């Protein structure tokens, strides 16, 4: 009996989320929405717990595209601000504008811009989140895998694309926060082919914004990867220590690549074509030498057995 049968009955995506949503809406009326939400979260956790050591339903790549639905909250927030801006603009335009000062006009223009900008941002975010979850072939993740292939226009169906990465992550993957590093692929917000990696740049930056007497700081933790065609793949992480460990793991997987801070990435990608080709030749020379040494060690080890 395989793992799926031993784990018993499980609701597949998206029905597990549909059931949880209906439960929260129905049970929240009787026991409170906080408790119903906690019970729904417990149910999802138990569903995952019953698959120890197994990949998510549908695989790692498909699971990553589905998790993008969580960003719909940001889309709803943007649409709320867009609605608020539109409401303010409507009320402003209904007033007598004969005695308006410059500040009144500025406030009206700002509310109109907020309405248009926030609404457009919210609709775009909602569209991309829903597209990635329900049309994975058009998702950002699938596009990043295709772009790594020698002939992107002749790429196989999305199921095969995802399966290539899933098999490598399942067999060889090491996880660092939201980044999984296998022997051939790196799975993050984008997917990177390790043999094509030419640069790895770590971004750990604190941005401070001062508004009146308030001081707000935001920490940006990102892993940037540059491939042999100067294409960029990036993943946002939550922990600076995980970022450092992910970069250290990639240094073992692609030792000939350039490892540096984010501030120096633009100089690396902005090289002239002549400089880039010279660096590419040097990269291949050093990689061929390393592979030859590893092959020689394997041959000597086989002889000693």
SS3 190: coil
pLDDT at 44 (0 to 100): 67
Residue 272: exposed, middle, or buried by beta-carbon count in 10 A (0-12, 13-18, 19+)? exposed
Q: Which of 276, 176, 284, 291 is nearest to 235 (CA)?
A: 176
pLDDT of residue 280: 95
Is 76:70 a contact under the CB 8 Å cutoff?
Answer: no
Per-residue pLDDT, averaged over 149-163, amounts to: 91
More reliable by pLDDT, 163 or 304: 163
Q: pLDDT > 90: what percent of the chain?
A: 60
Q: Are 158 and 137 in contact (CB under 8 A)?
A: yes
Please tell me the distance from the alpha carbon of residue 251 to that of residue 238, in angstroms, as a whole number. Answer: 20
Q: Which two tokens stand for residue 43?
A: 């149910």
Burial class (CB in 10 A: 0-12, 13-18, 19+), 46: exposed
Tens-place pLDDT, residues 115-130 = 999 999 999 999 999 9
Encode pLDDT of 184-231 as tens digits: 999 999 999 999 999 999 999 988 887 777 888 888 999 999 999 999
User: Which residues are paired to 206 by β-bridges?
Assistant: 219
Pairwise pLDDT comparison (97 vs 203), residue with the higher score: 203
What is the average per-residue pLDDT within 72-96?
92
Cα 216 from Cα 209, distance rounded (Å): 5
On whether the CB atoms of residues 119 and 82 are closer than 8 A, the answer is yes
Residue 15: which pLDDT band, with cuts at 50, 70 and 90? low
CB 187 within 8 A of CB 179: yes
* Beta strand 258-261 pairing with 197-211: parallel
The strands making up 174-176's β-sheet, listed across from edge to edge, are 174-176, 179-181, 185-187, 191-193
Chain segment 249-288, per-residue pLDDT in tens: 999 999 999 999 999 999 999 999 999 999 999 999 999 9
* Alpha helix positions (H), the chain: 3-6, 15-31, 33-49, 60-67, 72-93, 102-134, 140-148, 158-172, 240-253, 265-269, 273-304
For residue 11, what pLDDT band results from cuts at 50, 70 and 90?
Answer: low
- 155 and 211 Cβ atoms separated by less than 8 Å: no
pLDDT at 1: 39
Instruction: Return all residues near 293 (Cβ < 8 A) that are at least 6 apart.
Output: none
Query: In the prediction, which pLDDT does 216 show?
Result: 82
Q: Quick one: pLDDT at residue 14?
A: 66
Please check whether residue 223 is in contact with residue 234, taking contact to mean a CB–CB distance below 8 angstroms: yes
pLDDT level of residue 3 (50, 70, 90 thresholds) = very low
User: Using one digit for the tens of pLDDT, what is the confidence trace for 20-78?
Assistant: 777 777 777 778 777 777 777 777 667 666 665 566 777 899 989 988 888 888 999 99
Average pLDDT, the chain: 87
**Residue range 241-246: average pLDDT?**
96
User: What pLDDT was estimated at residue 235?
Assistant: 93
Confidence tier at 166 by pLDDT (50, 70, 90) = very high
Round the CA-based radius of gyration of the chain to a whole number and report it: 25
pLDDT-based confidence at 17, cuts 50/70/90?
low
Is it the case that residue 177 has pLDDT exceeding 60? Answer: yes
* Mean per-residue pLDDT, 167-171: 94
Q: Where are the alpha helices (DSSP H) in 149-272?
A: 158-172, 240-253, 265-269
Strand pairing of 191-193 and 214-227?
Answer: unpaired
């Amino acid at each position: 009996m395989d793992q799926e049968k031993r784990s018993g009955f499980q609701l597949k995506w998206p029905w597990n989320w549909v059931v949880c949503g209906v439960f929260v809406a129905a049970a929240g009326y009787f026991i409170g929405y906080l408790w119903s939400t906690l019970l729904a979260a417990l149910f999802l956790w138990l569903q995952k717990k019953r698959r120890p050591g197994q990949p998510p339903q549908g695989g790692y790549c498909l699971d990553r595209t589905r998790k993008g639905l969580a960003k719909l909250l940001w889309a709803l927030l943007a649409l709320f601000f867009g609605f608020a801006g539109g409401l303010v603009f409507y009320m402003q335009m209904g007033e007598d504008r004969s005695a308006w000062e410059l500040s009144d006009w500025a406030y009206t223009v700002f509310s109109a811009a907020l309405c248009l900008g926030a609404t457009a941002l919210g609709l775009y975010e909602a569209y991309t989140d829903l597209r990635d979850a329900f049309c994975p072939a058009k998702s950002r993740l699938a596009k990043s895998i295709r772009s790594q292939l020698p002939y992107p226009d002749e790429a196989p169906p999305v199921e095969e694309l995802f399966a290539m990465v899933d098999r490598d992550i399942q067999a060889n993957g090491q996880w660092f926060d939201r980044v999984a590093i296998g022997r051939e692929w790196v799975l993050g917000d984008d997917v990177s082919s390790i043999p094509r990696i030419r640069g790895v740049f770590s971004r750990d930056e604190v941005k401070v914004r001062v508004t009146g007497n308030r001081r707000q700081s935001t920490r940006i933790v990102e892993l940037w990867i540059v491939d042999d065609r100067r294409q960029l793949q990036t993943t946002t992480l939550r922990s600076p220590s995980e970022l450092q460990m992910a970069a250290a793991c990639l240094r073992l997987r692609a030792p000939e690549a350039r490892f540096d801070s984010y501030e120096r990435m633009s100089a690396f990608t902005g090289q002239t074509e002549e400089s880039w080709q010279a660096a590419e030749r040097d990269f291949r020379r050093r990689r061929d030498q390393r592979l030859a040494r590893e092959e020689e060690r394997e041959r000597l080890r086989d002889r000693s057995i």
